[in-house]
């Protein structure tokens, strides 16, 4: 299968490229410029196109059968302004999707975010995909708006659309300022690690498993035109941040201490994000 991919140099995108190539797929991948480097080493380069989402030409998508959209703007704190997130995460992808439709692509696989659920996540032991979207910050708000916009486009244009809302992904290639890379760095250096009290409950999923979920979605037989599907993508094993940190700390053989409670909770922190996971397909 020939795939058009956005976000190919990103955290999840780099792993997706390696797994999709291993599965025998061909990839045309978008990147901002030649200077944009993948987060992990690639076994094989895709055919790179240097362009913004809005400037992709119809001919760039020749022969592609599916568009996988992993690109995201301001996915890490501190988030950009809401207006910028809406422009980059809703309007720019819509422009690309219109070009893809013109090129004949009918199947779209899109990365969503668990944080689209926002405050409503705290009202569920396991969050269903039809839970209200009540995001509390600019980036999650833009992802929620994108879900609604892409859903509408799929209905209007009779497209096959799958949105996979990713839960707490971590692993190799992750931004160094995020929790897991910070924990690993401190553990391997023999340093202490200051963190919050860690009572937040999350579903932590390895980036390799997220990439595998997107590769598996490429040729799913249950996607139908005009009937968008939204699913949660997680491990199915919720745990507190404290328990996750202890397990990883021990796995790395850390000699320092986890200083739980040394850092405050984030403003507007949602304390529980645990997905309802669909049955294996």
**pLDDT string in tens for the chain (281-residue length):** 999 999 999 999 999 999 999 999 999 999 988 888 999 999 999 999 999 999 999 999 999 999 999 999 999 989 999 999 999 999 999 999 999 999 999 999 999 999 999 999 989 999 999 999 999 999 999 999 999 999 999 999 999 999 999 999 999 999 999 999 999 999 999 999 999 999 999 999 999 999 999 999 999 999 999 999 999 999 999 999 999 999 999 999 999 999 999 999 988 788 889 999 976 44
CATH of the domain at 241: 3.90.25.10
Q: What are phi and psi of 122, to 5 degrees?
A: -75, -15
Classify each residue of 223-259 as buried b or exposed e, where b means 16 or more C-beta atoms within 10 Å of its C-beta. beeeebbbbbbbbeebbbbbebbbebbeeeebeeebe
* 281 falls within a domain: no
Strands (E), 55-200: 66-69, 107-113, 160-166, 168-170, 193-195
Q: How far apart are CA 186 and CA 105, in angstroms?
A: 45
Q: How many domains does the chain have?
A: 2
CA distances from 174 to 14, 106, 220 (A): 11, 31, 28
Q: Which domain holds residue 246?
A: 179-201+237-273
Q: Are 30 and 116 in a shared domain?
A: yes
Q: Are 130 and 185 in a shared domain?
A: no
Q: Are 228 and 101 in a shared domain?
A: yes
pLDDT at 35: 80
CATH of the domain at 109: 3.40.50.720
Q: Are 119 and 183 in a shared domain?
A: no
* 14 falls within a domain: yes
* 279 falls within a domain: no
pLDDT at 280: 47
Q: Are 103 and 150 in a shared domain?
A: yes
pLDDT at 279: 67
Structure tokens at 149: 């916009």
Q: Are 53 and 111 in a shared domain?
A: yes
Q: What are phi and psi of 203, to 5 degrees?
A: -110, 100
* 194 falls within a domain: yes
* 247 falls within a domain: yes
Nearest to 214 by CA among 139, 107, 115, 131: 107
């Amino acid at each position: 299968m020939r795939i058009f991919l956005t976000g190919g140099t990103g955290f999840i995108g780099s792993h997706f490229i390696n797994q999709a190539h291993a599965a025998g797929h061909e990839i045309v991948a978008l990147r901002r410029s030649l200077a944009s480097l993948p987060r992990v080493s690639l076994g094989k380069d895709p055919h790179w196109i240097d362009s913004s989402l809005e400037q992709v030409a119809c001919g760039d998508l020749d022969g592609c059968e599916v568009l996988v959209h992993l690109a995201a703007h301001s996915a890490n704190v501190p988030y950009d302004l809401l207006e910028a997130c809406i422009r980059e995460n809703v309007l720019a992808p819509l422009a690309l999707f219109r070009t893809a439709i013109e090129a004949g692509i009918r199947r779209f696989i899109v990365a969503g975010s668990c944080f689209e659920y926002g405050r409503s996540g705290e009202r569920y032991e396991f969050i269903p995909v039809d839970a209200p979207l009540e995001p509390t910050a600019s980036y999650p708000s833009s992802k929620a708006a994108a879900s609604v916009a892409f859903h509408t486009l799929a209905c209007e244009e009779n497209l096959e659309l799958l949105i996979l809302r990713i839960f707490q992904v971590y692993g190799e290639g992750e931004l160094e300022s995020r929790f897991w890379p910070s924990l690993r760095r401190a553990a391997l250096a023999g340093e202490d690690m200051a963190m919050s009290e860690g009572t937040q409950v999350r579903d932590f999923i390895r980036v390799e498993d997220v990439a595998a979920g997107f590769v598996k979605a490429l040729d799913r037989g249950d996607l139908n035109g005009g009937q968008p599907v939204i699913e949660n993508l997680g491990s199915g094993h919720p745990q507190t941040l404290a328990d996750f940190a202890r397990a990883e700390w021990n796995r790395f053989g850390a000699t320092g201490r986890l200083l739980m409670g040394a850092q405050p909770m984030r403003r507007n922190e949602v304390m529980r994000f645990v997905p309802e996971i669909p049955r294996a397909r």
